[in-house]
Amino acid sequence: MHVAPPARAQPRLADAAQAAAVVEAFDLRRLPAGYYANPYPYYHALREAGPVHRLPDGGYFLSGYAACVAVYKDARAFSSDKKREFAPKYGRGLLYEHHTTSLVFNDPPLHTRVRRIIAGAFTPRSIADMEGPVRELVDGLIDRIEAKGSADLIGDLAAAVPIEVIGNLLAVPREEREPLREWSLAILGALEPVLSPEQQAHGEQAVAGFLAYLETLVARRRARPGDPERDVLTRLMQGEQDGERLSERELLHNIIFILNAGHETTTNLVGNGLYALLEWPQERAPLLAAPQLIRPAVEEFLRFESPNQLGNRLTTAPVEIGGVAIPAGTYLTIGIGAANRDPEEFPDPDRLDIAREPNRHLAFGSGPHVCIGLNVARLEGRIAIRRFLARIPEYRLAGEPVRGGRARFRGFLSIPVVLG
């Protein structure tokens, strides 16, 4: 089947009147259908009206790069603790317990304690050691794609890589990995600004399933510990900071978080990157000719279509951001995807430029909570995209790609392609 190359999404609204109407109506609880396919016209309209925008629920949406960086850098004035927000959203169930115990949604001291223990396992050496196995895995996946003659870039490549890498990082036995992706999607799906009762129930079941599984995994690892230099799970179990160990619940929820954090986001990096090269075919040739360009190219894919589009913080004191006075106790949404298209920081921001330099994007956040797995994700992205492109340089769409349809996590559920 022949399908035309995807039309490039229009980054701008038609006129000033439309932009004003979009800004006026912008509400994260009621996002317009078009936003999910292409949020950039909304982001530009908001930013042009001012980098810090008041939402109907009293929170603020930050679309300017400088404003987002300022918030990320100051963890005292801008808290990551989500208990106040999640109690009414989730009730007192397992989703609440999970999301309020993981390090990403905590401030010191829990955040510092867990982060130090985990970060020690992400040394340059342990990441370099992943390279060979990831390359082998990717080559095997591409062999299968070549044999089939067609592929779903998500199911056959992008989703398969992070499951393997994260599974190896925590030494989860291979035959036990299958349910991880489904659990992960359900738990992270529950972070959407608005949650249906079905999504909530699904999320609760996923946390329950995950906890039950991890209890058995932890018990087995206690009986036979792994190498704490390599195995993040053993490290977390043995890790002690300032004489304090993680409680059993803290341990289990943070393992869930690491497994989740590395899945969907990295899948989306690979899927969004290969899709961007369908939209911008002229960027393929230089990448093929100069393999070292894969480094800036991956940074550009992260900027151009950030897998994680939104972050959040709560003000702990009255603050001023971008000239706007904001009281203590206010929710802020950090528009990662919006900041990454801010022309003040990125010249010609709606153009994909695989050699862009400098490229100080915020796809991994910034400051004390900056992504711990960023170099793992980069490695996976570089290997998967570069090797796929080198072996199947003429891949084309074979049908309509299906988007995930989420505001927070931007990516595809499937991208059908033929090989040339």
Residues in contact with 202: Cβ distance below 8 Å, sequence separation at least 6, in sequence order: 186, 189, 190
Shortest approach of ligand HEM to residue 283 CB, angstroms?
19
Q: Whose Cβ is closer to ligand HEM: residue 41's or residue 262's?
A: 262
Q: Whose Cβ is closer to ligand HEM: residue 104's or residue 163's?
A: 104
Shortest approach of ligand HEM to residue 110 CB, angstroms?
10
Shortest approach of ligand HEM to residue 362 CB, angstroms?
7
Burial 197-209 (b: 16+ CB within 10 A, else e): eeebebbbebbeb
Shortest approach of ligand HEM to residue 165 CB, angstroms?
7
* 401/413 Cα distance (integer angstroms): 8
Q: Whose Cβ is closer to ligand HEM: residue 23's or residue 374's?
A: 374
* 375/381 Cα distance (integer angstroms): 10
Q: Which residue is nearest to ligand HEM (CB)?
A: 373
Shortest approach of ligand HEM to residue 208 CB, angstroms?
22
> What are the CA-CA distances from residue 162 to residues 28, 123, 215, 258 (Å)?
29, 18, 22, 12
Strands, E, within 11-168: which ranges? 52-54, 60-62, 78-79, 150-152
Q: Residue 403: helix, strand or coil by DSSP? A: strand
Q: Are 282 and 310 in contact (CB under 8 A)?
A: no
Q: Whose Cβ is closer to ligand HEM: residue 95's or residue 158's?
A: 158
Shortest approach of ligand HEM to residue 371 CB, angstroms?
3
Own/partner pairs, 204-211, CB within 8 angstroms, 24+ separation: 204/93, 204/94, 204/95, 206/182, 207/94, 207/95, 207/97, 207/98, 207/183, 207/256, 208/94, 209/179, 209/183, 210/183, 210/256, 210/259, 211/94, 211/252, 211/256
- Quote the tokens at residue 155: 């199911």
Q: Are 99 and 86 in contact (CB under 8 A)?
A: yes
Shortest approach of ligand HEM to residue 92 CB, angstroms?
23
Shortest approach of ligand HEM to residue 118 CB, angstroms?
6
Q: Whose Cβ is closer to ligand HEM: residue 256's or residue 319's?
A: 256
* 415/145 Cα distance (integer angstroms): 13
Q: Whose Cβ is closer to ligand HEM: residue 19's or residue 274's?
A: 274
Which of 200, 307, 324, 317 shows the shortest CA–CA distance to 260?
307
> What are the CA-CA distances from residue 102 to residues 107, 170, 179, 254 (Å)?
10, 16, 20, 5
Shortest approach of ligand HEM to residue 295 CB, angstroms?
14
Q: Whose Cβ is closer to ligand HEM: residue 47's or residue 263's?
A: 263
Q: Whose Cβ is closer to ligand HEM: residue 166's or residue 338's?
A: 166
Q: Are 278 and 305 in contact (CB under 8 A)?
A: no
Q: Whose Cβ is closer to ligand HEM: residue 322's or residue 381's?
A: 381
Chain residues in the site for ligand HEM (CB under 6 A): 80, 103-104, 115, 118, 166, 169, 258, 261-262, 265-266, 269, 307-308, 311, 363-365, 369, 371-373, 376-377
Shortest approach of ligand HEM to residue 184 CB, angstroms?
12
Q: Whose Cβ is closer to ligand HEM: residue 13's or residue 256's?
A: 256
Cα-flanking dihedrals φ and ψ of residue 153, to 5°?
-60, -25
